[in-house]
Structure 1
Amino acid sequence: MHIRKACCLAALATAVLGCRSASAETTLRIAMTAADIPTATGLPNNGFEGMRFLGYPIFEGLVLWDLTRTDRLASLRPGLAEKWEQDPEDTKTWIFHLRRGVKFHDGTDFNADAVIWNLDRYFNSNSRQYEPPSSAMSKARVPVMGSYRKLDDFTVAISTTRPASYFPYMLVYLLFTSPASFERADHDWAKVATLPAAGTGPFRITRVVPRQEADLARWDQYWDKSKLAKVDNIALLPIPEANSRLAALRSGQVDWIEVPPPDAIDSLKSAGYVITTGSYPHVWPWFYNIGATDSPFKDVRVRQALNYCIDRDGLVALLNGTAEPSVGWLKPSDPDFGNPDNRYKFDPARGKALLAQAGYTAAKPLSFKVMISNSGSGQMLPLPMNEYLQQNLKEACGVNVDFNVVEWQVLLTAARATPDSPSLLGSMALNISSPSSDPGIMARYFSSANFSPNGFNFEQWRDDTFDQALKTIERETDPKVISDAYRIAHERLVDNPPWLYIVHDLNPRAMSPKVKGFVSPQSWFVDLTLVRMQ
């Protein structure tokens, strides 16, 4: 009798402890702006929001971002490569020394074979693991990729098509998935995400329900013991409509929302929610479709005119101060902004004069379509913002703008289309938010070598002075020479604008006061290992 009673008490104690242990688990619930769960095969779609939440927390690259500071642009740090250097005998070749002892979430080893396998996934169309969607993104993000080879089990050499001093900044966007994931899915990438796929990061995927939720769990065997996550689980919910995200936060359905509605910020603060903002390398523009057959934007005067026609301060007021005016790819406070001839401001008279010189008057107004999204990573609040611009351009300069509204991923795909592609639906501009973090991004978007569909120069913009400055940046090692060239390159982006520069985002987020430890870095990405739940 006593023995039975003791066993029952022990079982009860175990059950109670088990319940306590389960209840002690912490889950961070995040509402994304995406309309769907980013792809979970190791290189997510949905732009940089996909990389932010279904990329870096689970899958890593040879090079990673340092996202622990707020006082400077995010810098690079060693990732799955402990160190790297340019080959002293060939500046187009980089040697990467891989980190030893790293395992994927499925227990298999990370090594040089895994690196080559993943690079073949992105760049070798004859490989069994070649994945066209991931390849398209990777080729656009790393347009200088040449060849690669294994030197030994923990050393690889990667060569670029031309010298590129910024190559490590491009490699942060190539993430590595366990080859065993592909084998277990019978060589079907559509099935890989259902396994789920295995990476090497501080979180692992435990469940994905398309358009509903993706769940992550802390990976206690993570190779960097100083970066073990402080929450047990993360739940990611796609909620593209801003007021729906707001309602989810206020009701306690989520703990954190991306891009709260600007008119709700004051009331959220009054209710005890935490609003975080911060300057980061972001520009919210319209990409001019210069290359289209009958594009009005072939004339630089038209491109300049619109930059004088928009009231950026009025748009910032609409956004309750969560953005700042953009008059170039970089911010005017950036030391590399340069001294361009054009200092854009709201000057309708100058805008109309330039339009008239190009042949557009009240009798023959400029009219065109813009492809925009209803939500998306870095897109801020695209519908009300674009409606504001539509009215602004009509009233200030007599310009008629219509919109093609599509989902974010459709818009991203359109950015890799050729200028007259039917997929553009006749659009003469695309509203796609862009990073402006480093020369690698500048080269990706504006080099004449990177015309779409092989790169992100959707506009098919060419400027010889810019290309020459970029070549100097790629080949020089003297920081002063590089900085001087960077300023010249940026001056051309202002004076011969491929974009309509509108605003820079200040990265607003709203969080429950239970969320602690969050750092808002000067980056599109965040370090989720720093976050804890009170």
Structure 2
Amino acid sequence: MNRFTGFLLASLAAVPAEAAESLLRIAMTAADTPTATGMPNNGFEGMRFLGYPVFEGLVLWDLTRTDRLAGLRPGLAERWEQAPDDKRVWIFHLRQGVAFHDGTPFDADAVIWNLDRYFKPDAKQYEPPAAGITRARAPLVESYRKIDDRTVAITTAVPASYFPYMAVYILFTSPASFEKAGRDWARVGTLPAAGTGPFRITRVAPREAVDLARHDGYWDPARRAKLDRVRLMPIPEANARIAALRAGQVDWIEAPAPDGIPSLRQAGFAITTGSYPHIWPWFYNIGAPNSPFRDVRVRQALNYCIDRDALVGFLNGTAEPSVGWLKKDDPNFGAPQHRYGLDPAKGRALLKEAGYGPGRPLAFPVMVSTSGSGQMQPLPMNEFLQESLKQNCEVNVTFNVVEWQVLLTAGRSAPDAPALQGALALNVSSPSSDVSVMARYFSSANLSPKGFNFAQWKDEAFDDRLRTLSESTDPREIAAATRAAHERLVDNPPWLYVVHDLNPRAMSPRVKGFVSPQSWFVDLTLVSLQ
């Protein structure tokens, strides 16, 4: 009996004693439980399940609708605005009457304490792993200060009209949790730590499960959870997740294997899919010494060498072709000169211009993961791309296969860092939800390891358009600049654009009230079990 099977049997044995309570069991794609200190690792799957349900930000996502991209709503700050005399300064007015799960107050001192945790390396509470994640997601934070007990100001490095979309990723943990654990963040993660969210952590068992319970003292009575408890279980292998669902060992699985979806639907399980702001690409490593991707013709060529439609068929329709960072029907897609699709002749011609061909084939290694948040079915999908590039354009690709968290760490590394193992591309799925994400991934001010611009991509026209939309308050000017910026992402591509995920999940028919928003995240407070 392996460890996973033994744990599932133990979970089943516990069910009768828990029958009086509603317990939702979720199978994640992660290979391990996300860290539980208040800034979870394991990418946005960590944020989805062990971030926002437990720990909150000054700004939160509105995840109650399916008909449009998820917007923002007030969170631990009831309102915010730019300072009238300096567009770099954002003033946040904190919500009254909020306490952490341990009963300690949420106030301006707690905000500053947590900001020091992320942005002040000499602070006693500085947490390097959490700081790396937060700095990469909110790279514009320059300074901050307490105005009074209910008001804080955060200053950005440059004016940024989209900064609230970065603030949404800064989560807050009770300072008392750190003190209770002897000022040891490793121990904080097993206490468990206290947040302010609608759920609280009750048990952390690394590699096995994290248990959450409804927080009946949640500050927003209208948003208190319907479920009594939630169990988060890492099951990285897609077929193992399906087997667990069929056996009644879990109620909800992320990313079911596409070929298993028809039989799950036939068996009465609910399958949810929906468009959301997500892309599954390869990041080109442009900055590595002697990288072939320094030549834009090589980057363009690969975008003509892959059969996206065939890959969508291979995925049983759970994705759609990607020909840019945004979907082609997005109003901000623009009118780029390049319209990517399978065109081997054009791909080969561009490679030939760049000096590659039968006598000197293009060859490079790609770092890929075995599973992970938004990674869909990474191994078979990457093998499909490997064969597509070989057949269509005689490009030879090899793989460095690692765990998801290892790949995420590599994505925040310098282009020649040992952590990359010589990889000249990374397969990291990523959001495309708003301009703040565009700035994080593509602004030349956010080159890794400072930010998420792993590709080390620099485009003056893009930076100019980003500056315009950052400083402007005119919606028409912002929209025009966004379209022009995206055109540069297509014509001077920093990535190989592959597919947009349709976010499939499979659930027991007992799961009710689930809303599949146009977002990476979900609102667990809406869910119940029957």
| TM-score (norm: length of structure 1) | 0.96
Aligned to 1:198: 194
Query: Post-superposition shift, 1:492?
Result: 0.1
Give the 5 Å matches for 1:293-332.
293-332=289-328
Residue of structure 2 aligned with 1:48, choices 44, 47, 53: 44
Query: Post-superposition shift, 1:363?
Result: 1.1
1:255 aligns with 2:257: no
Residue of structure 2 aligned with 1:30, choices 15, 26, 32: 26
Query: Post-superposition shift, 1:22?
Result: 5.6
Aligned to 2:19, the other structure's residue is in SS state: helix
Aligned to 1:88: 84
Aligned to 1:462: 458
Residue of structure 2 aligned with 1:353, choices 328, 349, 353: 349
Residue of structure 2 aligned with 1:173, choices 159, 169, 185: 169
1:452-490 deviation per Cα after TM superposition (whole angstroms, max 9, x unaligned): 110000010000000000000110000000000000000
Distance in 1 between residues matched to 2:286 and 2:83, nearest whole Å? 39
Distance in 1 between residues matched to 2:384 and 2:352, nearest whole Å? 23
Superposed CA RMSD: 1.0
Distance in 2 between residues matched to 1:318 and 1:299, nearest whole Å? 31
Distance in 2 between residues matched to 1:457 and 1:336, nearest whole Å? 21
1:366 aligns with 2:362: yes
Query: Post-superposition shift, 1:194?
Result: 1.3
Residue of structure 2 aligned with 1:212, choices 188, 201, 208: 208
Distance in 2 between residues matched to 1:58 and 1:263, nearest whole Å? 34
Aligned to 1:281: 277
Aligned to 1:100: 96
**Residue type of the partner of 1:279?**
S
Query: Post-superposition shift, 1:295?
Result: 0.3
**Residue type of the partner of 2:326?**
L
**Residue type of the partner of 2:206?**
P
Aligned to 1:9: none
Between the two proteins, what is the percent identity of the paired residues? 72
Aligned to 2:59: 63
Runs of 5+ consecutive residues of structure 2 not aligned to the other structure: 1-14
Distance in 2 between residues matched to 1:112 and 1:211, nearest whole Å? 35
Aligned to 2:444: 448
Distance in 1 between residues matched to 2:63 and 2:18, nearest whole Å? 30
Aligned to 1:520: 516
Aligned to 1:530: 526
**Residue type of the partner of 1:314?**
A
Aligned to 2:347, the other structure's residue is in SS state: helix
Query: Post-superposition shift, 1:24?
Result: 2.6
Residue of structure 2 aligned with 1:379, choices 370, 375, 379: 375
Aligned to 1:232: 228
1:75 aligns with 2:67: no
Distance in 2 between residues matched to 1:401 and 1:516, nearest whole Å? 44
Aligned to 1:254, the other structure's residue is in SS state: coil
Aligned to 2:398, the other structure's residue is in SS state: strand
1:88-123 deviation per Cα after TM superposition (whole angstroms, max 9, x unaligned): 011100110000100100000000000000000000
**Residue type of the partner of 1:496?**
N
Aligned to 1:439: 435
Aligned to 1:264, the other structure's residue is in SS state: helix
Aligned to 1:349, the other structure's residue is in SS state: helix
Query: Post-superposition shift, 1:422?
Result: 1.3
Residue of structure 1 aligned with 2:474, choices 455, 475, 478: 478
**Residue type of the partner of 1:201?**
G
Residue of structure 2 aligned with 1:164, choices 160, 163, 166: 160
**Residue type of the partner of 2:509?**
P
1:400-457 deviation per Cα after TM superposition (whole angstroms, max 9, x unaligned): 0000000000000001111111111110000000100101000000000001110000
Aligned to 1:413: 409
1:426 aligns with 2:422: yes
| TM-score (norm: length of structure 2) | 0.97
Aligned residues: 516
Aligned to 1:85, the other structure's residue is in SS state: strand
Distance in 2 between residues matched to 1:382 and 1:22, nearest whole Å? 36
Aligned to 1:24, the other structure's residue is in SS state: coil
**Residue type of the partner of 1:170?**
M
1:269-300 deviation per Cα after TM superposition (whole angstroms, max 9, x unaligned): 11000000000000000000000011000000
**Residue type of the partner of 2:194?**
A
1:273-331 deviation per Cα after TM superposition (whole angstroms, max 9, x unaligned): 00000000000000000000110000000000000000000000000000000000000
**Residue type of the partner of 1:434?**
S
Q: Which runs of 4+ in 1 moved over 6 A?
A: none
Distance in 2 between residues matched to 1:298 and 1:193, nearest whole Å? 42
1:17-37 deviation per Cα after TM superposition (whole angstroms, max 9, x unaligned): xx9996331000000000000
Distance in 1 between residues matched to 2:385 and 2:92, nearest whole Å? 47
Aligned to 2:10: none
Give the 5 Å matches for 1:109-188.
109-188=105-184
After superposing the two structures, state which structure 1 stretch, 419-428 or 469-478, moved more. Answer: 419-428
Aligned to 2:311, the other structure's residue is in SS state: helix
Give the 5 Å matches for 1:490-501.
490-501=486-497
Distance in 2 between residues matched to 1:419 and 1:149, nearest whole Å? 34
Query: Post-superposition shift, 1:147?
Result: 0.8
Distance in 1 between residues matched to 2:26 and 2:325, nearest whole Å? 30
- Structure of greater Rg: 1
Query: Post-superposition shift, 1:85?
Result: 0.4
Aligned to 2:67, the other structure's residue is in SS state: coil
Residue of structure 1 aligned with 2:263, choices 263, 267, 272: 267
**Residue type of the partner of 1:277?**
T
Structure 1 residues 503 and 193: CA distance shift in structure 2, 3 A: same
Distance in 2 between residues matched to 1:258 and 1:269, nearest whole Å? 15
